[in-house]
Structure 1
Amino acid sequence: MTIVVPVYDDLPGLERCVEALLETVDFSVDRVLLANDVGPNVDAIERRLLELVADHPGFEYTRNERNLGFVGNCNRAVLELDRTGNDVLLLNSDTVPLPGFLDEMTAVLAEDDSIGVVCARSDNATIASFPYARRNPRANLAPRRTRELHGRVKYLLPRFSLAPVAMGFCFLIRRETIDRFGLFDEVFSPGYGEENDFCLRINEHGYTAALANHALVLHTGSTSFSGDRGPTLRLEHERILLERYPFYGGAIALFLSRYRDAVDVFADAFLPDDDAVRVALHLPAEVDGAVVTRVRSVLAAAPEHMVITLIVARSQLRAARQAFPGALIAVGGRPRQIFDVAVALGALTTFGQLSMLNANAPRWVLVDPIPQDVRWSQAVTHHRANAIDRILRRFENETLPWQDGKSLVEAIETAARTEIDPTALRARWHAVTDIAEATGLLVHRAQVSMRRLAALTFGARNPRIVARIRSITGRG
């Protein structure tokens, strides 16, 4: 294995990376190539690097004659300097690889000849981030938290998950794919999007990317491009990706909704990082007087450690805000937030409601589900809702009739203390998702809209305006 570390700036991060490699790499098998791309502090970085590695036989150091940018630096190191024929790991200099990461990644690469690229899990790596969805998205995710959580659940996860792309911070490439297809397209120079293009390019020839779920590499991220340059490059290069691969957005959505393991989806709930019980309280489609009375009763009975978010239909958002001032309210739930318990307050009558419940939490509590009626007239009228009810009852933690807010709060507390069963969770996740996709409720588009491409073009030209809009709308 040849580990290529592209070097530009950020000396403290580089020191941490090299020190971690010294501790984790088996140099009787693997070698490290440090490729210095002549950044703003090139001489100081060179001196310090040579001090760190000294005469260590497992390290090779090279310095470019001029700055080539991340893409050019990687291409030169892999295509020109490394003549070993080894598989190649591109490892960002702002990473801290943890023990065992390389063994796991190489094991995944060896699992199947069709796997062309592998990346590790991380605290900061978009779809490879761990956890991806959070119980409290407003809280900072410390590296220590990622390490603790990963240690708790990694062996509940499959060894790897196939994904549309792998993340470039820790990018293990099968040498055969480099020999056949080259490496990064210079159109993505100096950086951003080049690894996604590589994954999608080789996928058209039968190779796929994989996330090594048992490997963990911490990653600082976004240290190379300051000011407006980073956002501009990201948006420009995303537009290029979508023009080349119109299905790319749909592929990412399909991975997140279907191909991630269910334990991965709800990982943050397996080892909570606070004492709060976070609850998604799903309201019926119509927020009438009876519903308002029930919700107020629940909110009044909830103890301080119970954080309740009301999940409402968009059409009911204004009415809910008026009826429950000061309450946490979300339309359909936040896509990157999960909860400890989801509560259906009243019968769910649409599959959309069921799908939303499925995405919110690993535990379900049902209140006043559809009554079992023996009259055929009612069975015919409500057959779709009855089918949804049968799915719900198959996977719920508790079903109870409405009594009062205090009784429901007690049921929520009991459910929150129930250990999550990974096997049952996977069965539920796949059952609901499969039906959603088969019925057309969940659609992953194979084409990108002209509106999306135009928005990316505008964003690349006006990154500050886009950042301001996102901060106002909460979509940053």
Structure 2
Amino acid sequence: MTRDRRAVTIVVPVYDDLPGLERCIEALLETVDFSVDRVLLANDVGPRVDVIEARILELVGDHDGFEYARNARNLGFVGNCNRAVLELDGTGNDVLLLNSDTVPMPGFLDEMTAVLASDDVIGVVCARSDNATIASFPYARRNPSANLAPRRTRELHGRTKYLLPRHTVSPVAMGFCFLIRREMIDRFGLFDEVFSPGYGEENDFCLRINEEGFTSVLANRALVLHTGSTSFSGDRGPSLRLEHERILLERYPFYGGAVALFLARYRDAVDVFADAFLPDDDVVRVALHLPGDLTDELVTRVRSTLAAASDDMVVTVIVPRSQVRAARQALPGASIAVGGRPRQIFDVAVALGALTTFAQLSALNANAPRWVLVDPVSHDHRWSLAVANHRASAIDRILRRFENHSTVWHGGDDLVKMVRMAASSEIDPVALRARWHAVSDIAEATGLLVHRATVSIRRLTALTFGARSPRLVARIRAITGRGA
């Protein structure tokens, strides 16, 4: 199979982190077909350059699939990549830039090259990973407070990868594993030195080629584990990130909106709820949506549900922002959230009463792959009620297409039993995908979800200030609760 595809030069920029580099080289020895592809190790003269060089030469020995080069001086990540690709590699191959702190899984390169070959409009391909921002798998977690172990990512990816589309178009690809069609390099060069020594250069490249009609995609069935950035210590890393984000937004004012649109609409529904397909614990995690004002009757129902939930069920009460203070007073000790947490999903979402706004429906859609409806809209035949409730009735008709269970209120014990039944049911990827797209499309068409094509002067100013004082910005975010 591999002999029928274009060859790839895998460029591994080397700086420090010897243990990570050793794991990367060992994984490449096991996963790369050297009858087709080659590896170029580009040493950028880090603080332990001689020790690292000796270990590289020991690991690769006289293996003819590896080439080693050492820069005369430190060029930074951007300069090192540019030199390796534009000067040292004369093969004409497609190029995979692979961070030295990665561990590729078997079959990753065949899958990535197959995706690249599937459409001439694809310019860059990125693998999925345990640590790669929007390419992370899973991206949203059932339990955000738990550590995501590489083992968990491998298990979950193995369970769901064939339920996903082979690739997903994204605004940018992540630089930790960055496969580039050679034509892109020949036409557009590689990284802009303004992003030296690093951060943001791969985003700029993706957006630059996209302006010429080429796309970046995530190869959903390729997996490469990634430790994460270790190159910049102290304030330098945050400062570079903020300064280079400012440059990106000045060049591409739509970039923030593009990422928001990708997260809200373009991801596959299985990807959105992947962590629920193979739970990593026996806990049932529930989003209990309170669609209206916090009446005495509604508070009684919530208390009854919370009392019926045993230790193996974690319930988060979702309320409108205007009701947060009242909910905290009425439900002391309960977990309260506004519209759900953006990086958390749940096993089941419960609408504890009729939904009357599309914003409520959209929040339910984003929270969980399974729905339970309690006391949904009554479809009375009297025209007076039909006219008064027409909006809620329309939302209810959408809900009924995708619900898992609906019931009238019989008490917290009965509701908890129904939630457990829903949580134990298999997730239907086809139905989930249809629901995700239908609700997302309506949200965008009605203006509920708005993704801006511009960036404010206020944000650019904040990024400039943050780049100069990253520690102060971190303290402000901690005080105001706006953590990264």
User: Which of 72, 80, 88 is the equivalent residue of 1:81?
Assistant: 88
- Structure 1: distance between partners of 2:312 and 2:191: 50
What SS class does the counterpart of residue 41 from structure 2 fall into? Answer: strand
How much has 1:457 moved relative to structure 2? 1.2
Write the mapping of 1:142-221 to structure 2, written as runs, cut at 5 A. 142-221=149-228
The equivalent of 1:306 in structure 2 is: 313
1:273 pairs with 2:280: yes
The equivalent of 2:438 in structure 1 is: 431
1:409 pairs with 2:416: yes
- Structure 2: distance between partners of 1:444 and 1:240: 20
How much has 1:470 moved relative to structure 2? 3.1
Output the amino acid matched with 2:17. Answer: D
Aligned-pair identity (%)? 82
1:451 pairs with 2:461: no
- Structure 2: distance between partners of 1:128 and 1:60: 29
1:263 pairs with 2:270: yes
Output the amino acid matched with 1:19. Answer: E
- Structure 2: distance between partners of 1:468 and 1:412: 41
How much has 1:206 moved relative to structure 2? 0.6
- Structure 1: distance between partners of 2:457 and 2:312: 46
Output the amino acid matched with 1:7. Answer: V
User: Which of 109, 117, 120 is the equivalent residue of 1:110?
Assistant: 117
How much has 1:171 moved relative to structure 2? 0.2
The equivalent of 2:483 in structure 1 is: 475
- Structure 2: distance between partners of 1:412 and 1:450: 47
What is the total number of aligned residue pairs between the two structures? Answer: 476
1:289 pairs with 2:296: yes
The equivalent of 2:251 in structure 1 is: 244
- Structure 2: distance between partners of 1:368 and 1:262: 27
User: Which of 379, 397, 406 is the equivalent residue of 1:390?
Assistant: 397
Write the mapping of 1:319-330 to structure 2, written as runs, cut at 5 A. 319-330=326-337
Output the amino acid matched with 1:79. Answer: L
The equivalent of 1:123 in structure 2 is: 130
Change (3 A) 1:176 1:156: same
CA deviations 1:73-107 (Å, max 9, x no partner) are: 00000001111000000000000000000000000
Do the aligned residues in 1 keep the contact of 2:318 with 2:339 (CA within 8 Å)? yes
Change (3 A) 1:360 1:306: same
Output the amino acid matched with 1:239. Answer: R
The equivalent of 1:23 in structure 2 is: 30
- Structure 2: distance between partners of 1:8 and 1:318: 51
The equivalent of 1:37 in structure 2 is: 44
Do the aligned residues in 1 keep the contact of 2:291 with 2:360 (CA within 8 Å)? no
User: Which of 356, 362, 366 is the equivalent residue of 2:363?
Assistant: 356
The equivalent of 1:96 in structure 2 is: 103
- Structure 1: distance between partners of 2:326 and 2:291: 13
- Structure 1: distance between partners of 2:68 and 2:18: 15
Output the amino acid matched with 2:303. Answer: R
- Structure 2: distance between partners of 1:243 and 1:446: 12
How much has 1:475 moved relative to structure 2? 2.3
CA deviations 1:113-151 (Å, max 9, x no partner) are: 000000000000000000000000010000010001000
How much has 1:380 moved relative to structure 2? 1.6
- Structure 1: distance between partners of 2:78 and 2:482: 32
How much has 1:454 moved relative to structure 2? 1.4
- Structure 2: distance between partners of 1:341 and 1:439: 26
Do the aligned residues in 1 keep the contact of 2:167 with 2:219 (CA within 8 Å)? yes
Gaps of 5+ in 2: 1-7
Do the aligned residues in 1 keep the contact of 2:104 with 2:223 (CA within 8 Å)? yes
What SS class does the counterpart of residue 162 from structure 2 fall into? Answer: helix
Output the amino acid matched with 1:14. Answer: L
How much has 1:474 moved relative to structure 2? 5.3
What SS class does the counterpart of residue 155 from structure 1 fall into? Answer: coil
1:10 pairs with 2:17: yes
The equivalent of 1:335 in structure 2 is: 342
- Structure 2: distance between partners of 1:474 and 1:301: 34
RMSD: 0.7
- Structure 1: distance between partners of 2:477 and 2:113: 39
User: Which of 32, 45, 56 is the equivalent residue of 1:49?
Assistant: 56
- Structure 2: distance between partners of 1:236 and 1:387: 47
Do the aligned residues in 1 keep the contact of 2:347 with 2:368 (CA within 8 Å)? yes
More moved, 455-464 vs 144-153: 455-464
What SS class does the counterpart of residue 157 from structure 2 fall into? Answer: helix
More moved, 430-439 vs 283-292: 283-292
- Structure 2: distance between partners of 1:316 and 1:155: 42
How much has 1:382 moved relative to structure 2? 1.5
The equivalent of 1:378 in structure 2 is: 385
CA deviations 1:337-389 (Å, max 9, x no partner) are: 00000000000000000000000000000000110110112112221111100
CA deviations 1:239-275 (Å, max 9, x no partner) are: 1000000000000011111110000000000000111
How much has 1:455 moved relative to structure 2? 1.4
